[in-house]
Amino acid sequence: MSELQRVLYVEDEPDIQAVAKLALEVVGGLTVQVCSNGDEALSSAPGFAADLLLLDVMMPGMDGPTTLGKLRQLAAYADTPAVFMTAKVQPSEVAHLKSLGALEVIAKPFDPMSLATTLKQLYASTQA
């Protein structure tokens, strides 16, 4: 069973980007490719080989669900596990995001100290 090592993280808010990158790299020991928008994610994804996609839902231009749909069109990312992060976590919205293929929806604000562990557990659940 492989362990989570590489995360493609798409988030437009610099402060949140910085906290999550620190949480995943320093606390979690993961390799993180941070993208500020969907277009950036689509251009950097092919060269990064992510084990997991971590996507903000609300972003200017291409939102998280649209970004995920476009990443899914790339052969390398057709089956890559995806997790959304959003402040909107009403059950209907969570159900909608999961219907798009998300493993889980993490609420913002998230706990930086447990973010990497949460992602590793979610990833492990797909490897069983």
Q: Is position 128 within any domain?
A: no
What average pLDDT does the structure give for the chain?
96
**Based on the structure, what is the number of domains in the chain?**
1
Other beta carbons within 10 angstroms of residue 23's beta carbon come to 21
| Domain of 109, in residue numbers | 6-123
0.95 surpassed by pTM = yes
The answer to whether position 119 is within a domain reads yes
Residue 111 lies in a domain: yes
For residue 101, give both structure tokens: 């293929």
Instruction: Categorize the per-residue pLDDT at 1 as very low, low, confident or very high, splitting at 50, 70 and 90.
Output: low
CA distance 43 to 112: 27
- Give the separation between CA 27 and CA 22, rounded to whole angstroms: 7
Quick: pLDDT tens for 31-58: 999 999 999 999 999 999 999 999 999 9
Q: In CATH, what number is assigned to the domain containing residue 71? A: 3.40.50.2300
Supply 66's token pair. 């649209």
Q: 1 lies in a domain?
A: no
